[in-house]
Amino acid sequence: MRLVEGVATVDDLDAFLAALTRIGEETGCTVQAFDARYVVDRAHLERALELADRAIDRGENVARDRGVEVMLYAAGRRQIDRALTMGVTEGEGPVVVLVAADGGADRGGSGDGDEATAAAAVDDLLTPADALGDYDEDLVREYFIIDDPELAATAGTLADVVRERVALLDVRK
């Protein structure tokens, strides 16, 4: 898995998403873009990818598309429309794009996706900038419904609570 970060200027969302899809198809990779304001750290997306792949391997996935399944786990939700809030929108904003080789035949891939080529192509669509880990705390707390008492009840950080929500999605299915 590779993460490409930067600022996206999206004038036409459908065209931007089509470009990402094309990159994925040409390289044998899943390419999924996230609004970086919702992504707490690299581990957040690594765990989402791991759990999405496990669900797909077990035939327990909700979405037909691997990228959407990763988005569901990253969002800690089973509702696709609510999870898509974490995706990119039209306008200019910080993004993190997950690039991951598609894996085995059970995921529709050959296992030999070219992550480096896909990441370079995605990078060409963005203005370079550090975006990962620069999340919007208020937005994350509102989106994941994390209040002061919950944060006070844990020894961890906000990022820890978000990663826990990702991991607990299987329990709530």
> What CATH number does residue 121 fall under?
3.30.2380.10
What is the predicted pLDDT for the residue at 111? 55
Give the 3-state secondary structure of residue 103.
coil
What is the per-residue pLDDT for 107?
Answer: 44
Tell me the residue range of the domain where 63 lies: 2-172
List the one residue out of 134, 159, 158 whose CA is nearest residue 6: 134
Residues of the chain with pLDDT under 70: 103-112, 171-173
> Domain tally for the chain?
1
pLDDT of residue 112: 64
pTM of the model: 0.91
Q: Between the CA of residue 169 and those of 3, 87, 108, what are the distances in Å? A: 22, 19, 24
pLDDT at position 105: 42
Q: What is the pLDDT of residue 108?
A: 46
Residues 6+ apart with CB under 8 A from 112: 28, 101
Q: Which helix (H) or strand (E) element contains residue 14?
A: helix 13-27
